[in-house]
Amino acid sequence: MMIKDVALAGTAAIALLTSAPLAHAQLAPSPEWRQVLPTGPLPGTKMTEEFVKEVGKLAYVWAYPMVNLQSRQDVFAKVKEAGLLNGVLPAAPINELAMLTDYIDPAQRAVAAPNQDVVYGQAVLDLSKEPVVVQVPDFEGRFFMYQAVDQRTDAFAEIGSMYGTRIGYYLLAGPDWRGEMPKGIANVFRSPTNVAFLFPRIFVDDTPEDKKALQQKLQYVMAYPLSQYDRIPKKRDWSQLKALTAGGGSGGEIQWVKPENFPEDLARVVANVKPMAGEETLHALFQSLSDAAARNPKVKEVLKQAALDADKTLVAPMFDSRNFGVQLPNNWSTVTNGAEFGSDYYTRAASAKANIFINKPNEARYFTQTSDEKGQALTGKNRYAVTFAKGTPPAAGFWSLTTYNKDRFFEPNEIKRYSIGTKNKDLKFNPDGSVTLYVQADAPTDPAQRANWLPAPKDDFQLYLRAYWPKVSIADGSWSPPAVKQLGEARAVGKQ
């Protein structure tokens, strides 16, 4: 009997242990759990100089996109009325929109690698103040999209042709907004950060007729604070914007991230940008680094030097598209997780350095090229041909091929053409339906080639292929761009 009792008791104990995890899973964590399991170094923990230096470099890469957008917001916070910064860049007070009425001017230097296929707009948002209302007019079949990104440069709204967006009002709200959705608002999109940016893109043909036809629609492309919302469509004649004076150089992109200011910039980022799910420990580590720099001038100086080193050795090489993203046949490169980077900190920072504000992959795919099919650098000293088979590039919105100089900006040319593609109505197609584009510094003498001519800078240059609203063959990777074939030296400009 004693043996039987012991056996029964053992069985009961096993049953109790087996069911314990289920019961335990229902228990709330202890109020002291954070003290038992801290998410990062304890306040006041001593850090060696080498630790600060190495972790500081990682922090710089992590924070680079967020510092970039914070710096832009600092500049636009000084704008008192809608206008054109330096006569070229649309700018408006915080939480308001300004629109262009034509392709962006080649002189702009605020954003590298812009396109010349759409009419751009821009609104810099501080959603801690209040949500922002976005108006979408009836574009009557014209391709459009409104890109909204948070401080990490991840997209948080779906407004555009590929989403079947209808005419109406939409709301962009911050992470802490708890209001009710107002009557007449079709949808609310919530940003995980209070700093956010809005970029309408409306496609327009490179013809006077289409540009004229678009103007009335553009007047109803608006964004404004929720406190101004009255369910009555607002409009503005964007052609009347006056020039606003602002700083900026004439070479490369404006330096939005200054490594010498990183200790202060990091402090703002960790204070204002909440960690993503799963990022709590990393966020706490960078918070401890920032706190240590705030307490100790020596640590601050080491962190500053770490940022200077990281900017030179880690971030600067990211400007070369061959150093990040997915490498494709024929020496092309692409990014397949644009604007939804998640914890891919490397690609997020690289995209912020090389081509910030890229779209999500279902919205647009970008292919970059710096060399011909033999791997030799593209240069205005040579002539090139790119032939797309019939029906390609496969895009439901539009496609274009663009030339940029070494700084990834437009180089002035005699016909003021910087991209070629869907917007051009006079392209000459080959008998089999394919189309060959001629990329060279000097104009071809053959009329057919001249119609398909994409002017190139005189020196080294880069090519960007854009496919907006890409089709399945781009999305699944079964299609990639054709080779860039060298035809000969630039001085031989006759028939090829």
CA distance 421 to 437: 9
- Return the structure tokens found at 284: 């706490």
Report which residue type is found at 193: T
- What is the full per-residue pLDDT of the chain (496 aa) written as tens digits? 444 443 433 444 333 333 444 344 455 655 555 555 667 788 788 999 999 999 999 999 999 999 999 999 999 999 999 999 999 999 999 999 999 999 999 999 999 999 999 999 999 999 999 999 999 999 999 999 999 999 999 999 999 999 999 999 999 999 999 999 999 999 999 999 999 999 999 999 999 999 999 999 999 999 999 999 999 999 999 999 999 987 554 467 999 999 999 999 999 999 999 999 999 999 999 999 999 999 999 999 999 999 999 999 999 999 999 999 999 999 999 999 999 999 999 999 999 999 999 999 999 999 999 999 999 999 999 999 999 999 999 999 999 999 999 999 999 999 999 999 999 999 999 999 999 999 999 999 888 899 999 999 999 999 999 999 999 999 999 999 999 999 998 764 444 4
Rounded Cα–Cα distance for residues 191 and 123 (Å): 14
How far is 463 from 444, CA to CA, in rounded Å? 19
Provide the CA 300 distance to its chain's centre, in angstroms.
30
Question: What residue type is assigned to position 370 of the chain?
Answer: T
> How far out from the chain centre does Cα 172 lie?
18
